[in-house]
Amino acid sequence: MENDRGAWLSIGALARATGIPVETLRTWESRYGFPSPRRKPSGHRVYPLASVERLRRVARALALGHRAGEVVPARESDLDRLLELEPPAARPTARAPADAAALLALVTALDAPRLTVALLAEAVRLGPLAFARDCVAPLLVAVGEAWAGGQLEVRHEHLLSERVADVLRSQRLSLEERATGALVLFATLAGEGHGLGLQMAALVAAAAGLRVLYLGTDVPLRDVVAVAREAAPAAVALSVSSSSPRRRTESRLQRLRARLPRAAKLVVGGAGAPDAEGVVTLRDLDALDAWFRALAR
C-alpha cells in the first residue's frame, strides 16, 4: 500500500470519477462483491484506480438496458459481449421511483446534495434516453409550472438547472470515452441561453455511440459555421426553446444551412424548433434517439 500511493480512491472519489452514486456502489459491493475495497492501516476503505474503467463500462452496459445482476459481477469477456450488443429493444424501461414531485420537493427545499444523489441514481438505473425523457423532462415541466404559479423563485430554477446539467454532463462524458461513431456538433444560436435540452440531446447522441463536439449555448452563427468547416461533423444539432422568435429562428436556420458544408446534416429540436427547408426537425427525444442511431449505423 505504501508503494502505490495515489493508485487508490475513496468511495467518494470513485463515485465522482464514474458518475455512480456512493449508495449504488455500496449496494453493488455488498450484493455482487464489486467494487472490491482494501482497508488502509487507519481502517478506511479504498478502491483501486482500475475500478474506474470497469465501473464506467458497467454504467455503459446498464445504459444499454442490461440489468445490474448480469452486468456488475460479469467476467470481462462477458462484459465485452454485452457492450457489443444493440440495446434490448423489447425490454421495457421502468419508470423512476423518484418522480417529478419528489424531486421537486428537493428543489423547493434547496437540498442540493440529496437532489444530486437522486438524479445520479436515476441516471444509472434508467439509462440515458429514459433518464432524459422520463425523469429530467417531467421535472423541468413541473418546475416551470411551479415557477409560473409563484411556488418557486429564480434561485430554485437556477439550482435545478445547474444540478441537472452536472448530472447530464457526467453521464455523457463517461459515454464519450468509448464513442467511435460519427461526429455531431451541438450548440444553441446567439441569444438562446436555455441549455438543458441541448444537454439531453448530446447525452442521447453519446449513448448511440456518436462522438460529441459540445459548444454550449449562445453561440454566434459565424462560430458554428467556422467550427463545422474545421471539424467536418456529420451533423450539426441545435436546440431551440419556445422563447425564441419563430421567424428569426427560421431565417437563421436558412442562413446556417446555406453556409454549412453540404455534407453536414442540420438537425433541430426543442419546443421552438420550426420546420425549415433542408433542416431535419425532430419533436421529441425518442425521434432524436432513432435519428442518432440511424446516423451511427
Query: Backbone phi, then psi, for 274, in 5-degree steps?
Result: -90, 165
| pTM over the 0.75 mark | no
Q: CA 60 to CA 8: how far, in whole Å?
A: 23
C-alpha cell at 192: 438562446
Nearest 5°: CA angle at 260, between 257 and 265? 70
Asked which of 23, 53, 84 is the last residue of a domain, the reply is: 84
Examine the domain organization and report whether 75 and 108 are in the same domain: no
Query: What CATH number has the domain bearing residue 247?
Result: 3.40.50.280
User: Partners of 210 in the beta sheet?
Assistant: none
Does 90 reside within a domain? no
Examine the domain organization and report whether 205 and 255 are in the same domain: yes
Task: Give the confidence band of 98 by pLDDT, cuts at 50, 70, 90.
Answer: low
- Helix, strand, coil % in the chain, rounded to nearest 5: 55, 10, 30
Examine the domain organization and report whether 283 and 199 are in the same domain: yes
Asked which of 52, 84, 116 is the last residue of a domain, the reply is: 84
Q: CA 23 to CA 118: how far, in whole Å?
A: 10
Ramachandran region, residue 125 (left: φ > 0; alpha: ψ -120 to 50; beta: rest)? alpha
Examine the domain organization and report whether 195 and 288 are in the same domain: yes
Examine the domain organization and report whether 71 and 162 are in the same domain: no
Examine the domain organization and report whether 212 and 261 are in the same domain: yes
| 176: number of Cβ within 10 Å | 16
Query: If you average pLDDT over residues 222-238, what whole number do you get?
Result: 95
Q: Quick one: how many helices (H) and strands (E) in the chain? A: 14, 8
CB neighbour burial string for 180-204, b if at least 16 within 10 angstroms, e if fewer: ebbbbbbbbbeebebbbbbbbbbbb
Query: What CATH number has the domain bearing residue 63?
Result: 1.10.1660.10
User: Partners of 184 in the beta sheet?
Assistant: 212, 235
Does 92 reside within a domain? no
Does 94 reside within a domain? no
Examine the domain organization and report whether 117 and 80 are in the same domain: no
Give the pLDDT confidence score for residue 65 in this predicted structure: 62
Examine the domain organization and report whether 188 and 292 are in the same domain: yes
Examine the domain organization and report whether 283 and 208 are in the same domain: yes
Examine the domain organization and report whether 273 and 214 are in the same domain: yes
Asked which of 28, 56, 84 is the last residue of a domain, the reply is: 84
Q: Does the pLDDT at position 227 exceed 50?
A: yes
C-alpha cell at 270: 426543442
Query: What CATH number has the domain bearing residue 129?
Result: 1.10.1240
Segment holding 246, helix H or strand E: helix 246-259
Q: Which domain holds residue 232?
A: 183-296
Examine the domain organization and report whether 72 and 108 are in the same domain: no
Query: If you average pLDDT over residues 84-112, what whole number do you get?
Result: 63
Does 67 reside within a domain? yes
- Dump pLDDT digits (tens) for 246-292: 888 899 999 999 999 999 999 998 888 888 888 999 988 999 999 99
Examine the domain organization and report whether 187 and 292 are in the same domain: yes
DSSP codes joined into one string, 151-187: SS-HHHHHHHHHHHHHHHHHHHHHHHTT--S-EEEEE
Tally of structural domains, the chain: 3
